[in-house]
Amino acid sequence: MSFHTIEYSAGMVSPSSNNQLALGNVQSGAAASHGIFTYDGGIPMLFFVPFNDPNRYEYKQKIISHGGIITDTEPNESTGNRIILLSSFNIRGQLCFKLSFIDDSIKNNGVCDLSNYKYQIPEVYDPSSISGQNKIIKINSEGDGAGQNDAAAFSNVISRNVRPPPMRTSRRFNDLKDEYILKQIRLNPRLRNSHKFFDGLATHDVLKGHTGNSIRSRYRNHLESRLAYVYKTDEDGALIKSADGKNIRESLENLPKTLKNRFTALEDFNLCTELIEYSRQKYYEDLESGAVEKDEDGKPKPFDLYQEFTAPVSFFTMMAKTYPSHSYHSWRDRYRKFVRQYGAQKYIDDYNRSIQNGETPEQMKNFTGKKAGLTRGFKELIGSSYNDNYRALPSNENARDDETIDEKIKQIRSSDYEGAAGNVGEIQEAEGGPNNDLEQVIESQSQPESQSQGQGGSVLESQSTSQMWSNFDIKYLPQGITLEDLFNKNFYKIAPSEISSKVETILNDIELSAPALLLKSFNEIGINDVFTAHLIMASSGDIVNMQVFIDKFLDLIPHLQEDQLYDGLQIEDTDGIWTNKLDSYLLSGSKQDMKKLQAIQSPHSIDARRLFLEKFA
C-alpha cells in the first residue's frame, strides 16, 4: 500500500481564517467511528516520527489505534508528500510538531489545532519557500490563501505551554542512520575498514552521539551484508562519475582494495622463492668473478639454501613491479620482519609440505609485536598440536602458565653467572645447513664403531668410545642461540608427541653407536649436532639424563620467549643435569659452592661429573 497515492484536497488541510494553520473538515467527535486522526471520508492522516525518537513506539501505537497512519517515509519536501512530522524535540531545518498534539487530540476525542503544536521556526527555514515545494504539509494554493502567508501564520502561533519531553538522544541505530552509514561506505569503499574514516563519520550530525568505533562495529556486524553495491572509484579512492555526472554503481565483486592488504601464503612463498633465486644468481656471478668466500681448503663455499639472505633495493623494486599487490616498502618490510626471522628456504619447505599434505599453507605470522616471542612462533612452526599435547599431559605440569615458567626460569637462572665461567664454547659453524653439517661431521669425525655400550650407561663409557668422542667438540651452547641452531627442518616433520619416544629409541640403540651414528640419528629427528653436543655436555654423556634433559626442554620450549631460549637450556634443578654454572661450582672447590652443588647433585653425579670433565672439558 502506498500512502502517497491518497489524493488530498485543499479542504483536508487548510489554514484557518485567522491565519493559524489548522486542519479543516477533519472529523472529530462524530468522526470517531473512523478514528480521531482522519480526514473527511475517513481518509487517515499521515504521520512520521523519526526512527530515533525515544517515544516513537508509544506514539505509533496511539496514532494507529486512533485511525491515523504512521509512515516509514520521511516528509519529503521535494515530492511534497502530505506527511506530518511529529517529534519529541525540535528538528533543525524541518517543520515539526510536538507529540502532545496526539495526546491532546485523543483527550479531546477530536483533532486539536495543529498550529498550536508547532516547534519554533527553524533558523534555516525560508518563509518564501513555504508556498512552494519546501512545505512539509503541502497547502494547495487554491485554498483559502493560507499558502500566501504561512510564514506569518507560523510566526503568530502562540505556543501552548506544553513541556516537551526532555532532550534525549537515543544511541540506538535506526534505518536512517544505517542508510547513512551505508551511503558513506558506498561513497568511500576503500575506507570501509578504516578506524579514522568511522571516527570522521561520528562527527556527522546524523551520527552524533555514536563513537567511530561504534559506527564501525555497526557496519561490520550488521550492515556489511546490506551494502549490495558501492560507487566506482579510482585507485586513489576518488569517485568516478558517468558522462551525465552521476555516480556509477559497482557490484561487490569489484570492491576496491582497502588501504592495507594482508600478505597471503602464496605471496610469502613468492617472496622467498624470488629471494633465493635472486641470491643464487648473485652467487654464481660472484663465483665467476671470484668474489665468493673460500673455506679453509681454499675452495669457494657452496651456496647455502638455509643462510640468511640479503637483498638490495633493486630486488624489492622488482618485487613491487612483478607483484603490484604490495609496494616496495611493504615487500621490504615483509622481508625484514618475517622472511629473515622465519628463513626463506624453511618457509618454502613448510609451504611445500603443506601442499603435499593437502593442507592450506599458512602465511608467516607472529614475528612482530612485543609478545611475539619464541612461544608463539614455535607453536606456529611445529603446529598447534604441540600445545594440545602439552596441555594434555596428565601431570600437574600442564597447569603451568607463562608466569610460572618465568619463575622457573628465574630459579634456574643465575643472574651473576652469565659469562663468568668464560669457557662457553662457540656454536660449531656448519656450512650448508644441517645436512651438510652432518656430512662434514661424519667425514671428519667418523671412526670405527665402538663395541656395545648397553642400555642405561654412558655413550662415553668405554675407553675406546671416549677416544672417539674426544675428536668431537663437546660443549655447551652459548647465549644468543636460536631455534635454527638447535633444530633442523626434520624436527618439524615429526609430531611433537613423538619426539621424546624417538629420542628414547635412538638412545636405547646406542649400543651400536659411534659418534657419527648418534649425530646422524639425532639429525634425522631434527636435532642439530651442536645441540647433541650440548646434550652430552649437560648430561655427562649419560643416556638417561640425556632423555631427561630432552623431555624437560621440550616441555619448556612452548613457554619460552626468543630471548629465553638460552635460559631454558640451563636446567639446574635436576640431579645428573649440569650447566656451566654448576661446573664452575665443582671446579672452584670452595665449600660454599660445594654446598650449593650438593643441594642439587648426588655424590654419584658429582663424582661422575669430575671424571667427565677430566676427559672432555
Partner DNA sequence: GAGCACACCCACACACCAC
Partner DNA sequence: GGTGGTGTGTGGGTGTGCT
Contact 577, 605 (CB under 8 A): no
Interface stretch with DNA, choices 83-91, 368-376, 546-554, 599-607 (CB under 7 A): 368-376
Task: Specify the residue, 235 or 443, whose C-beta has the smaller distance to DNA.
Answer: 235
Contact 207, 201 (CB under 8 A): yes
- In degrees and rounded to multiples of 5, residue 70 shows phi and psi of -105, 125
d(CA 201, CA 179) in angstroms, rounded, equals 13
Size of the site for DNA (CB under 7 A): 49
By beta-carbon proximity to DNA, the closer residue of 101 and 263 is 263
Q: How far is the CB of 277 from DNA (least distance, A)?
A: 17
- Among 33, 225, 289, 314, the residue binding DNA under the rule CB under 7 A is 314
Per CB under 7 A, does 311 bind DNA?
yes
Q: At what angle do helices 591-598 and 603-616 cross, to 10 degrees?
A: 120
Shortest reach from residue 363's CB to DNA, in Å: 7
Q: Hey, what amino acid is at 43?
A: I
| Helix residue spans in 42-99 (DSSP H) | 56-65
Segments of 156-257 assigned E as strands: 229-231, 249-251
Candidate residues 338, 487, 531, 585; the one interacting with DNA per rule CB under 7 A? 338
Near DNA by CB under 7 A: residue from 245, 298, 369, 394: 369
Of 120-128, 292-300, 369-377, 385-393, the segment contacting DNA by CB under 7 A is 369-377
If the CB atoms of residues 283 and 338 are measured against DNA, the closer one turns out to be: 338
Give the span between the Cα atoms of 115 and 151, in whole angstroms: 12
Rounded Cα distance, 568 and 409, in Å: 7
Tell me the C-alpha distance between 471 and 448, whole Å: 13
| DSSP output for 477-506 | PPTT--HHHHB-GGGGGS-HHHHHHHHHHH
**Is there binding between residue 58 and DNA (CB under 7 A)?**
no
- DSSP for 524-566? HTTB-HHHHHHHHHHHTTBHHHHHHHHHHHHHHGGG--GGGHH
Q: Minimum CB separation from DNA for residue 328, in Å? A: 7
Q: Which parts of 142-181 interact with DNA (CB under 7 A)? A: 171-173
Q: Of 134 and 217, which has the nearer Cβ to DNA?
A: 217
Tell me if 330 contacts DNA by CB under 7 A.
yes
Please name the residues in contact with 448: beta carbons below 8 A apart, sequence gap of 6 or more. 514
Query: Which residue, 66 or 559, has its beta carbon nearer to DNA?
Result: 559
> How large is the C-alpha radius of gyration of the chain?
41
- The answer to whether 281 contacts DNA (rule: CB under 7 A) is no
Phi, psi of 179 (to 5 degrees): -65, -35
Return the ∠ at Cα 17 (arms to 99 and 9), rounded to 5°. 70
Q: Is the Cβ of residue 9 or residue 217 nearer to DNA in the bound state?
A: 217
Residue type, 108: N
The answer to whether 560 and 546 have CB atoms below 8 angstroms apart is: no
Rounded-to-integer distance, Cα 33 and Cα 35, Å: 6
Among 41, 42, 93, 209, binds DNA (CB under 7 A): 209
Query: In this chain, which stretch among 114-122, 154-162, 212-220, 233-241 interacts with DNA, using CB under 7 A?
Result: 212-220
For residues 123 and 253, which CB has a smaller minimum distance to DNA in the complex?
Answer: 253
Kindly state whether residue 94 participates in binding DNA, applying the rule CB under 7 A: no
Quick one: which segment of 282-290, 324-332, 562-570, 589-597 binds DNA (CB under 7 A)?
Answer: 324-332
Contacts to DNA from residues 217-276, by CB under 7 A: 217-218, 220-222, 258-263
Bridge partners for 14 per DSSP: 22
Q: Which residues pair with 98 in a beta bridge?
A: 87
* Site membership for DNA, residue 129 (CB under 7 A): no
Exactly one of 302, 312, 419, 456 binds DNA (CB under 7 A); that residue is 312
Closer residue to DNA in complex, CB, 30/167 = 167
Q: Do β-strands 46-48 and 14-15 pair in parallel, antiparallel, or remain unpaired?
A: unpaired
Task: Give counts: helices (H), strands (E), the chain.
Answer: 25, 8
206 binds DNA (CB under 7 A): no
337 binds DNA, rule: CB under 7 A: yes
Cα separation of 389 and 419, whole Å? 35
Shortest Å distance, C-beta 427 to DNA: 20
Minimum distance between the CB of residue 314 and DNA, rounded to whole angstroms?
6
Q: To the nearest whole angstrom, how small is the minimum distance from the Cβ of residue 491 to DNA? A: 22
- Write down the least CB distance from residue 485 to DNA, Å: 19
- 547 neighbors 508 (Cβ within 8 angstroms): no
Which CB atom, from 18 or from 314, has the smaller least distance to DNA?
314
Q: Which is nearer to DNA, 168 or 610 (CB)?
A: 168
Instruction: Find the helix packing angle between 496-508 and 543-556, rounded to 10°.
Output: 170
Task: Provide the grid cell at 360.
Answer: 592450506
Pick out residues in 185-204 that bind DNA (CB under 7 A). 191-197
Q: Which is nearer to DNA, 340 or 596 (CB)?
A: 340
* Residue number, 183 or 195, with CB nearest to DNA: 195
Closer Cβ to DNA, 183 or 610, answer by number: 183
Shortest separation between residue 268's beta carbon and DNA, angstroms: 9
Q: Which amino acid, 209?
A: G
Is residue 326 a contact residue for DNA (CB under 7 A)? yes
Residue with cell 667438540: 473
Output the smallest distance, CB 341 to DNA, in A.
10
CB of 91 or CB of 255, closer to DNA:
255
Q: How far is the CB of 219 from DNA (least distance, A)?
A: 10
Question: Coil, strand or helix: which one is 22?
Answer: strand
How far apart CA 301 and CA 492 sit, in angstroms, is 27
Of the candidates 513, 525, 555, the one whose C-alpha atom is nearest the C-alpha of residue 400 is 555
With binding defined as CB under 7 A, does residue 559 bind DNA?
Answer: no
Dihedral over Cα of 204, 208, 212, 214: its sign: negative
- Which cell goes with 527? 636435532
Q: How far is the CB of 333 from DNA (least distance, A)?
A: 4
Footprint of DNA (CB under 7 A): 171-173, 191-197, 209-211, 213-215, 217-218, 220-222, 258-263, 310-314, 326-327, 329-330, 333-334, 336-338, 365-372
